[in-house]
Structure 1
Amino acid sequence: MTIPVSGQVRSMTGFGSISFQDDYGCQNWEVRTVNSRYLEVKWRIPGYCRRLEHAWEKVVRSRLARGRVDISLDLRLSRPDVVCPTLDIIQAQGILNQIRELAGKADLPFQPDLNQLVHQTSLWRDPAGDLPKAMVQSLGTGLLMVLDDVQEFRSREGCILRDDILARLERMQRIVTEIQEQVGQRAPRRLEMLRERVNTLLQDIKIGSDGASLVLDEPRLLQEIALIADRQDVSEELTRLSAHLEESVRILTELADSGRRLDFLFQECLREIATCGNKVQDADLSRDVVAFKAELEKCREQVQNLE
């Protein structure tokens, strides 16, 4: 089997981290990815960056196809003024005026304690919408850098998995070829063995007063053998199996998002080889079927980690 490798297969397991300094402070990004059927993104970022999550998630989805992704940002600011929350002065003044009016009507002294405004979260506006444009761009650059780093990790892991699966696909193709050869060689022998068994049975059965043996009806025997051979024929299954293996190699070497496609094809391979095992009544061929299933099961385990 010729295996030209041109695709970029990636594992869903990966780790990436970057740190760099800009005019606003030091960004420390970290990304961890593990297996998942779909893409799940979890964020651990400062509260003033929450409004950027939606835009950032689009960036992540443009780079990653599957896996659970945990992204954390530790931002050490050198300019605290850029994220300083702002007080809603109009609303705060209105509250003070209402309390002052209430105190006047109740003829009570009123001395406002402005320190209490610090605890009134509703009076403070989240600074995320007011982050400097240059800072937002710098944070976006940091995110792209850490995604590139984790993709390099996932690509290296993917190459290891790809090579292992390709080696197993080659072994499975050799097993299929051996089964095809053995099936072709054993057909004439099965025919001769069946004829001998039928002759032996007929000779043991005596009919009539002279004890004559039954005579073999060759056309009828051939008809029955044809029916048995048809029930045990696995040529179609082996042809489809070979096609599935060839397609698996193409997907693995030419496509980046190969995980789900291979998972489906390997299920089809399992169905075809199971049918072969049920049809073929031969100890040697059964051992080949078991060997094929063992390799296939290892491939199915490995492909669960491919993106």
Structure 2
Amino acid sequence: MIRSMTAFASGEREIRDWLFTWEVRSVNHRYLDLSLRLPDAFRFLEPAARSRVGALINRGRLDCILSYKKSVEGGADIRMNRELVTKLLATAREVDDLSDRPLAGFSALDVLKWPGALHEPEADREQLAAEILDLLTDVLKQAIVVRENEGRQLAALLKERCVKLREHVSSVRARMPEVLQSIRQKIMARLAEVCANPDSERLEQEMVYLAQKLDVDEELDRLEAHVDEVLRALRQKEPVGRRLDFLLQEMNREANTLGSKSADAETTKASVEMKVLIEQMREQTQNIE
């Protein structure tokens, strides 16, 4: 199954009065480049989270973000740090006494905003760990579905261009005898202008040499073989992005050689069209896992 490397997925789950949310963003990359953003209280999950990602995804730049908060259904169990608040108020009164003029007042909410003034019980990290990781797995599977859906579209585009490449190869192959015959006629006409009795044996030798020089059968055969291999790779279940990239490099090399051996405008045009198609395929392959 061909997969794209672009995806976004998110999921949330209430776990023991806490609401946890994972977000996964994925873009293309040569290798698996994973960035995990975890709250300080759950940084201990990083090795296990990396293992979950690596088991499901092979390539791509992934940002996995975990956030959590107290759920509405779970209610709020907030307690005031009475000792700290008492000290804050006493200190505020001392500052007010030292001032030669009244200072701006403050509200109870201002005091409660002071770090540590309120205490909210933390989640039991160890008990929550397994379910948090299971939620990550679910979100990763959602991202994989997105990648597979886009991968099917990319595979269809690649197959379409493979069909067009085959058409160009067949066209060039069918035209080569006509090209060689045309060159032979031009040479014969040129010789007739300068020589009344041209050496037919020497002419045949030159034609053999020219035919060998312009022979593109090997390039056309390799192009067809590479197209077959691309289509075979698109049917594989394992990731094939790197293999496709290599095949397209080889196809571009053959198309360049075909252009350099071209002896007429139609063959040159076909070579250019092939390189355009191959470049389009390479751009699409950059996003395949």
Q: TM-score range by the shorter chain?
A: 0.7 to 0.9
Secondary structure class of the residue paired with 1:12 = coil
The question of 1:238 aligning with 2:220 is answered yes
The question of 1:289 aligning with 2:283 is answered no
> Deviations 1:65-84 (Å, cap 9, x if unpaired)?
1111001111124689xxxx
CA distance in 2, matches of 1:132, 1:291: 60
Secondary structure class of the residue paired with 2:5 = coil
Unaligned stretches of 5+ residues in structure 1: 1-7, 81-117, 120-126, 204-214
Equivalent position to 1:47, from 20, 29, 40 = 40
The question of 1:132 aligning with 2:126 is answered yes
Structure 2 counterpart of 1:262, one-letter code: L
CA contact (8 A) 2:179 2:264 kept: no
**Offset, 1:187:** 2.1
CA contact (8 A) 1:10 1:256 kept: no
CA distance in 1, matches of 2:42, 2:228: 48
Equivalent position to 1:219, from 201, 206, 229 = 201
Unaligned stretches of 5+ residues in structure 2: 76-114, 117-121
**Offset, 1:216:** 1.3
CA contact (8 A) 1:262 1:303 kept: yes
Counterpart of 1:38? 31
Counterpart of 1:249? 231
Q: TM-score, normalised by structure 2?
A: 0.79
Give the CA RMSD over aligned residues.
2.0
Q: TM-score, normalised by structure 1?
A: 0.75
The question of 1:147 aligning with 2:140 is answered yes
Alignment of 1:10-29 (within 5 A): 10-29=3-22
Counterpart of 2:168? 175
Secondary structure class of the residue paired with 1:76 = strand
**Offset, 1:24:** 4.6
> Deviations 1:60-113 (Å, cap 9, x if unpaired)?
011111111001111124689xxxxxxxxxxxxxxxxxxxxxxxxxxxxxxxxx
CA contact (8 A) 2:234 2:240 kept: yes
Secondary structure class of the residue paired with 2:63 = strand
Equivalent position to 2:245, from 257, 263, 267 = 263
Choose 8-17 or 252-261, whichever is displaced more. Answer: 252-261
Structure 1 counterpart of 2:201, one-letter code: P
Equivalent position to 1:163, from 156, 177, 182 = 156
Counterpart of 1:299? 281
Counterpart of 2:210? 228
CA contact (8 A) 2:38 2:66 kept: yes
Aligned residue pairs total 243
The question of 1:59 aligning with 2:67 is answered no
**% same residue:** 34
Counterpart of 2:101? none
Structure 1 counterpart of 2:173, one-letter code: Q
CA distance in 2, matches of 1:24, 1:143: 18
CA contact (8 A) 1:14 1:33 kept: yes
CA distance in 2, matches of 1:193, 1:254: 50
> Deviations 1:32-71 (Å, cap 9, x if unpaired)?
0011111111111111211111121011011111111001
Counterpart of 2:178? 185
